[in-house]
Each structure stands twice: as C-alpha cells, then as structure tokens.
Structure 1
Amino acid sequence: MKAVVLERFGGPEELRPADVEVPEPGAGQVRVRVRAVGVNPFDAKVRSGAMESAFTTVLPTVLGSEVAGEVDAVGPDVTGAAVGDEVFGFADTGAYAEQALLTTFARKPAALDWERAVALPVAGETADRVLRLLGVTAGETLLVHGAAGAVGTIAVQLAVAAGARVIGTAGPGNQEHVAALGATPTTYGPGLVDRVRELAPSGVDAVFDVAGRGALPDSIELRGGTDRIVTIADPAAGDLGVTFSANSRRDAGRLAELADLAARGELVTAVAGTLPLAEAAEAHRVIDAGHARGKLVLVV
C-alpha cells in the first residue's frame, strides 16, 4: 500500500511517499481503508526530532494518530464492527497511509463527513482531559490560549456548554471565529495581561494553553500563581512550575458522543483545509508556520 514515510528527522521535506506492507489486524483491532487523516502539531514535533528527549521514535516510521475510513478487515474479539462500516478514531499504526489499524474507534454518523469526523479524536480527547484537570465549572472564567485551533475550538465549546465564561486568544483574522464559538475574543502578544484584565476585572479562574507561544508567564501573572494552569504545548512548563498534560485517555464511547453532537450541528469542528495524502509535507509546512485555523486533513 502507499504511505508517507519518515526515514530521518528534519523538515517537512523528509516526508516522502513510499510502498509499505499492509498491516493485519490483531485482537480487538479493525483495519480501515483510509479516507481522511488528521494532521496534528504533535506529528510535526515528532518529524523534526523535537520529541526524542521525551520518547524514542524508531525510523523509518509512518506518522499520524487520527484516521477515518471504511472497515475492510476485522481482528479477533472485535464486537460492534463489521466490514463496510464507516468509522473514525485513533490509529494504532501510522495514519498517513492507505490502510491503518484501530482499537479505539466509533461509528461515523451519516450526517458527518470524513473531514469533520477525523478532526474529533485528538481535539476532543485533549479538550476533555484538560478541562477535567482544570476542574472548570459553571460560572467560572476560563482563558484559552490558541482558541481558534482544532483543540481550542472544541475546548471553547465544551467549556461554554458547561456554563463557563471563556476568553479566547487568537490572531486578528480569527477573532470572529472565536466569538462565534461563544467566547470573548482577544489577540495574543504584548499587552495580553491588560487586555484580559479589562475583559475580566474579577480575574480568571483557570487557563488552558493550547498554543504554546510563551503565554505562560502572563498566565501566571493573571492567576497570581501556577494553580489551575495547564499547557499541552509549551516546553517551558516544567521550569515555570506549570502542569504539562500529554497522556491521552482514549474512550470510544466519548468519541461516539462527540460525533453525534457534531452531526447534529451542536459541536463545530474546525477544518483548516484538505490536501492529498501525497502532499503531507505541505501540510507540515503549514503547521510549522503556526497559523492554521483548525485541523489540516489529508484525504485518500
């Protein structure tokens, strides 16, 4: 089968099309013919070698953890799935390929297209996990850095649905998008502390840093300490005493709930654009530039 393979760490140009063996499903796994692949900033960090200090990636490898497609083979001990089912979820094998294996997955509602479905697993799991860590409740004020991205878009909506007031930072071109999600938008960068204090004179109760653009010192100033600040993107977290969250908790039931919300139009998934699988390198160039609104999706 065709796949996009990383043979050595480096820039986006290191991602190259290649032929690889078709994976065979094991116990609890299904194999899908891939229709859409979610591209995440984490993929770009692995590609560059930036994650090697945290864990080792054996090369060559196929990147990607989000996939949507049609089941074409079912392994032993699989229940609730059959050949021909349209599913989406977390890839056990690399997702940048024509076929992939999944253990944690859910049925794709007919009203949800492939691109919007594949934008849910990582963003939904991450938003759920961090909001739990922060303990955000109704009536509280949450500050989200990077509110226009894939994770930020979901986090804002889930927090607003829980009754929280959300202030979301984003670039000038994404202010209307953040407002449409139910948040109060503001720009990031110099003067952030003053802008947020003007919007929330009583202070912010929690901070979710999705962007990792050096906003943690401002966040600590706004909170008056490091309590209830979580980042998923800033490597300076440890030096500053801020919680860095990275351990995912994959839940097929929750995937199905989020998909139903999205299919009914009650949860917006932000898709920044689509590219053919063979152009994965271009998707990584866009991610490295850091200004995509939502998820980039590779289509097969």
Structure 2
Amino acid sequence: MKAAVFNQFGGAEIMEIKRVPVPNLEKNQIRIKVMAAGLQPVDVKIRSGFFKDMVIDSPQLLGNEFSGIVVEVGSDVISVSKGDHVIGWTTLSAHAEYVVINANQVVKKPSHMSWEEAGALSASGQTALMALDGIHISNGDTLLIHAAAGGVGTMAVQLARSRGIKVIGTSSEANHDYLRRLGAIPIKYGDDLVDNVKKLVPEGVDAALDAAGPEALYASIKLVSSNDRIITTASRHLIEKTGVKTVVGERTQARLYQLTQLVEEGLLQVYVRKAFDLEDAVEAHREVETGHGHGKVVFTINQ
C-alpha cells in the first residue's frame, strides 16, 4: 500500500510516498480503507525531531485519526461489519491507504459528514474533551482558550459553548470573525494579553486551556486564581515547574461516540482549512508548520 513516510528527522521536504506492507489482520481487528486522515501539529513535530528521545522506524509513518470504509473484519469481530463507514483513531499509521486496528477504535460516521470532516474529528476532538474535563468547567464559568482557532482550540470552543460556558479565545486578528462564528469572544495574543483580558472580563477568568505554548501558559497563570484549573497541550515540559495540568487519559470509543452525537445534534462541527492529496505530503506539512489559518489540515486518500 502507499503511505507518506520519512526515514530521518528533518524538514517537510523529507516526506515521500513509498509502498509499505499492509498490516496483518488479527482475529479481533478490522482493516479499513482510509478515505481521509488528519495531519496534526504533533505529526510535524515528530518528523522534525522535536521529541529528542524518540526512536523512529525506517520508514516511519504518521497520522493518528482517520475516516474510512471497513473492508475486512477479523473472525472474533461482531460489532463492525464489512462496508461500514467509520471514524477512528490509531497511532502513527493513518497516512496510508489502509489501517488495521482493534474493532473498538472506531464508531459509525455520521452520514452527513464529509470524509474530510470525519477524518479530522477523532484526535483533536478527544484531546479537547479530555482537556475540558480535566479542569472541571461547568455552566457559568469563563474559560480562556489559547490558539482557539487551531484544531484543538476549535473543538474546545464548541464543546465549552455547548456546556453554557463563556469562552475568550486568543488568535490572530485574521481569525477573529471565525472565533465569533464559533461562539467565542476573540482577543489578540501579544505582550498586553493579560491586561486586555482583565479589561474584557473584569470579573475574571475561571479556567484556561493552553494550546499555544509557554507565553500563553504564563499569561494564564496570571489570570486564573488556581493553577489546577489550567491545562496545557502545548507546554507539557512546564507542568512540574508550574503545577498546571496536562491532558491525561486514553482515547476511547465512548468518548468518540460522544463527539459524533454532538455532531449529529448540530453542536459540534469540524472545520477543514485545507485538504491535500497524500502525494502532496510535503506541501501539507508546510501548511501545518505555518501556524496560520484556522481549523484542520487533512489528507484525502483513496478518493
């Protein structure tokens, strides 16, 4: 099968399309023809060598979320059938024509979702859901979300709004209208962020989600009274020093099903910024590396 791979750490230009073996199918697993797969910032970080102690395969695949069609089921599988349209997750293997995973790593795709939208739901959606649960937000709270227009941020804004939470979202001014459409109050990031947030919400901020990096995390510490109501997905190396939380927990079928139900109810939408053919992996990685725009970058595969 074709897959987007790399053999050593480096820039986007090292991505290439190679043929790799289709994984074997165990009796409790399913084989899925991938129709779309999200490209996340973490994929780009892995390829670049950001995680210094990480050992990679040669060739190394990427990709943790996908949508597709079940083409084969193991002998012990009863919950999924051949031909089912599904959304699922995997670990560093989705950017390929096929994935093989356990049957409990997928849910049915809502019929009205495009393949691209469905392929970008699982990773950012589950991360955002675990982040909000980790800081125990509830109706009436005010939540500050950094990088609110990004993949995790977009999900977190909508999930928080569905719970009756007031959301302040940081982004570039180019994405302010987008955040307003999601239901957030936009604010520009920068050196005067703390003062501007205080002016915007004099009553204060109850909790914060940092999906941007250290500057955003330290701004949150100045704005939120308790560090255990601050959670980060982008500054994990600072959690011991600061006492804030990071996202913990396993991705689960139940959590993914919860997300698809919110999609069905019109409370959650996946916004695809740009879709690339798998053969254009270099350009896709460069797009994610810009850090601009809103929503998700997605590969279209087998279409």
* TM-score relative to the length of structure 1: 0.94
Measure the CA separation in 2 of the matches of 1:92 and 1:287.
Answer: 19
Measure the CA separation in 1 of the matches of 2:236 and 2:279.
Answer: 31
Q: What residue identity is the alignment partner of 1:33? A: K
Q: CA RMSD in A?
A: 1.7
Measure the CA separation in 2 of the matches of 1:98 and 1:213.
Answer: 37
Measure the CA separation in 1 of the matches of 2:92 and 2:209.
Answer: 30
Q: Aligned-pair distance for 1:282?
A: 1.1
Q: What residue identity is the alignment partner of 2:300? A: V
Partner of 1:2: 2
Measure the CA separation in 2 of the matches of 1:248 and 1:31.
Answer: 25
Say if 2:17 is the partner of 1:12. Answer: no
Q: Is the 8 A contact 1:230 1:242 kept in 2?
A: no
Question: Structure 1: where are the runs of 5+ without partners?
Answer: none
Identity across the alignment (%) = 40
Q: Deviations over 1:167-186 (max 9, x none)?
A: 11111111111111111111
Q: Aligned-pair distance for 1:82?
A: 1.2
Say if 2:58 is the partner of 1:49. Answer: no
Q: Deviations over 1:238-265 (max 9, x none)?
A: 3641435254422213322322332443
Q: 1:31 to 1:93 in 2, by over 3 A?
A: farther
SS in 2 for 1:24: coil
- Within 5 A, what are the aligned runs for 1:1-300? 1-53=1-53, 55-92=54-91, 94-103=93-102, 104-212=105-213, 214-224=215-225, 226-238=227-239, 240-243=241-244, 245-300=246-301
Q: Aligned-pair distance for 1:284?
A: 1.0
Deviates more, 1:24-33 or 1:282-291: 24-33
Q: Is the 8 A contact 1:68 1:118 kept in 2?
A: yes
Deviates more, 1:40-49 or 1:204-213: 204-213
Measure the CA separation in 2 of the matches of 1:209 and 1:235.
Answer: 10
Q: What residue identity is the alignment partner of 1:133? A: G
SS in 1 for 2:61: coil
Q: What residue identity is the alignment partner of 1:88? A: I
Q: Is the 8 A contact 1:92 1:101 kept in 2?
A: no
Q: Is the 8 A contact 2:239 2:246 kept in 1?
A: no
Question: Structure 2: where are the runs of 5+ without partners?
Answer: none
Q: Is the 8 A contact 1:112 1:259 kept in 2?
A: no
Measure the CA separation in 2 of the matches of 1:244 and 1:279.
Answer: 36
Q: Aligned-pair distance for 1:235?
A: 4.7
Measure the CA separation in 2 of the matches of 1:189 and 1:57.
Answer: 36
Large movers: runs of 4+ above 4 Å? none
Measure the CA separation in 2 of the matches of 1:129 and 1:215.
Answer: 19
Q: Is the 8 A contact 1:92 1:102 kept in 2?
A: no
SS in 2 for 1:124: helix
Measure the CA separation in 1 of the matches of 2:55 and 2:229.
Answer: 30
Measure the CA separation in 1 of the matches of 2:241 and 2:65.
Answer: 31
Measure the CA separation in 2 of the matches of 1:299 and 1:83.
Answer: 21
